[in-house]
């Protein structure tokens, strides 16, 4: 099973993200469906039952208090060749990074890239109108999607289908 750890985003914040993401429906852009919006803490790829249980145990071992996170602004990775559009995290980004680091540390997994807390809203393959995309992105770089209380993290499976990924919750750990 393909597995990842994440923070779920409440429906009201998801609705605001989806409303804004519609402006990015350019040719070559695949937008993330509402039910798939989340903040990824770690993607583990294909894992067996034993590894899934180890991840769940590591998640249960993270002890911190709940905290507020604010989803703020739309941005993108790889400025030369844009591949991912995301909604950023302002308030709470440091705490999310601490949870990410604690989880990967407990699993003995290094993270080769600097972790940037975010919710992916779209993936790009061969964007046709970069200039128009950048103009719209600049209009949303300071947009406030709302805040929410982060009180748990979840382990999910991801099943690839012709209509996109389907997620199923395997385990939930309260913070």
- Positions marked catalytic: 38, 118
Cβ 107 vs Cβ 96: under 8 Å: no
- What is the distance between the terminal CA atoms of the chain, rounded to a whole angstrom? 25
Pairwise CA distance, residues 18 & 103, whole Å: 29
The residues near 65 (Cβ < 8 Å, ≥ 6 apart) are 175
Pairing between β-strand 118-124 and β-strand 84-89 as defined by DSSP bridges: antiparallel
Torsion, Cα 32 17 94 5, to 10 degrees, reads -30
The continuous run of DSSP H or E covering 28 comes out as none
Q: Which two tokens stand for residue 57?
A: 């145990």
């Amino acid at each position: 099973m393909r597995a990842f750890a994440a923070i779920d985003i409440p429906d009201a914040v998801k609705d605001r993200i989806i409303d804004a993401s519609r402006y990015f429906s350019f040719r070559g852009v695949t937008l993330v469906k509402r039910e798939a919006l989340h903040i990824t803490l770690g993607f583990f790829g294909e894992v067996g039952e034993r590894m899934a249980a180890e991840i769940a145990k590591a998640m249960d071992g993270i002890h911190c208090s709940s905290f507020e996170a604010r989803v703020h602004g739309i941005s993108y990775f790889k400025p030369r060749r844009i591949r991912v559009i995301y909604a950023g995290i302002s308030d709470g980004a440091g705490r999310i990074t601490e949870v990410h680091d604690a989880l990967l540390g407990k699993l003995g997994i290094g993270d080769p890239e600097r972790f940037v807390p975010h919710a992916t809203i779209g993936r790009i393959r061969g964007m046709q109108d970069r200039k128009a995309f950048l103009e719209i992105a600049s209009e949303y770089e300071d947009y406030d999607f709302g805040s929410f209380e982060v009180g748990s993290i979840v382990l999910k499976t991801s099943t690839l289908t012709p209509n996109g990924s389907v997620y199923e919750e395997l385990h939930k750990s309260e913070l």
